[in-house]
């Protein structure tokens, strides 16, 4: 890998490549859109929260690879990513709790719209998928940031 040959400044070098920067900037919106589509369309077609979440995360990771992990960390602070991780899982659990509050048991989606058979299930499942998508995306970005951070500290250790 190129990063191994020049470990000192792998990230910075990549951000100086005009072609990479332009293409990354052009493709990231499309990747994000496609990821959202996979999440939103998950209940009807192939895909869903997990797959879509990973695709969304891929857009952020591409940004991190090209412009450097520090730049990514500056754009989205880690505390916000941490909160998003919890927010996704909370959306999932919250849907379950909403069913309890509407007089059903936990995760009894039918109770969300008791008048229309099937609507409640569809709504509950979609919301759960959005929650999964958000959590998966933020966890993937966190893993990427963690690994890049570890590398940076190791490199410092090697030099000193």
Partner 1 sequence: MDIELPESIRAHLPVLVVLLPLFGGLLAMFTGLVQRGGGVIAWAWSVLTTALMLICAAAMLQQVHASPEPLVYRLGSWPEAYGIGYSVDALNAYVILVVSIIAFLTTVYAKDSVMAEIANDRHHLFYSVWLLAIAGLIGITVTGDTFNIYVLLEISSLTVYTLVALGGDRDRRALVASLKYLILGSIGATFILLGIGYLLMLTGTLNMTDMHDQLVRMREAGDLVNNRTVFVSFAFLMVGLSLKMALFPLHLWLPNAYTYAPSAVSALVAATATKVGVYMTFRFVFTIYGGVYDTSADLQLLALCACLGIVVSSLSAIRQMNVKKVLAYSSVGQIAYIVLGFSLANHAGVTASVIHIFNHAIIKGGMFMAVGAVALRTGGTKIEDFKGIGRQMPVTMAAFTVGGCGLIGVPLTSGFISKWYLVQAAMQEGYWGVAGVVLLGGVLAIIYVWRLVEIIWFGTPDDPSKRVKEAPLSMLIPMWILIGASLYFGVDATWTADSAQAAASLLLNGGHG
Contact residues toward partner 1 (CB under 8 A) are 79-80, 82-83, 85-86, 89-90, 93, 96-97, 99-100, 104-110
| Cα of 40 vs its chain's centroid, Å | 14
> 31 or 84: whose CB is closer to partner 1?
84
> 4 or 156: whose CB is closer to partner 1?
156
* Nearest distance in Å: CB 93, partner 1: 6
> 29 or 114: whose CB is closer to partner 1?
114
User: Tokens 């999440």 correspond to what residue?
Assistant: 39
* Nearest distance in Å: CB 88, partner 1: 9
Token output for 63: 């940004």
Residue-level length of the chain: 160
* Nearest distance in Å: CB 20, partner 1: 33
Q: In angstroms, what CA-CA distances link 29 with 32, 36, 118?
A: 5, 11, 34
> 71 or 108: whose CB is closer to partner 1?
108
Cα(1)–Cα(10) distance, integer angstroms: 10
Neighbouring C-beta atoms of residue 92, cutoff 10 Å: 20
* Nearest distance in Å: CB 89, partner 1: 5
């Amino acid at each position: 890998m190129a990063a191994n040959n020049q470990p000192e400044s792998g990230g910075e070098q990549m951000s100086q490549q005009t072609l990479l920067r332009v293409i990354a900037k052009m493709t990231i919106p499309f990747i994000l859109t496609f990821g959202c589509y996979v999440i939103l369309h998950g209940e009807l077609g192939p895909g869903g929260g997990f797959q879509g979440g990973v695709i969304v995360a891929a857009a952020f990771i591409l940004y991190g690879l090209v412009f450097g992990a520090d730049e990514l960390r500056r754009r989205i602070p880690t505390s916000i990513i941490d909160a998003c991780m919890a927010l996704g899982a909370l959306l999932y659990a919250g849907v379950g709790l909403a069913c309890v509050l509407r007089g059903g048991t936990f995760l009894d989606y039918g109770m969300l719209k008791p008048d229309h058979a099937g609507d409640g299930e569809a709504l509950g499942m979609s919301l759960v998928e959005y929650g999964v998508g958000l959590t998966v995306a933020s966890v993937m970005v966190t893993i990427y940031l963690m690994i890049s951070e570890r590398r940076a500290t190791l490199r410092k250790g090697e030099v000193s």
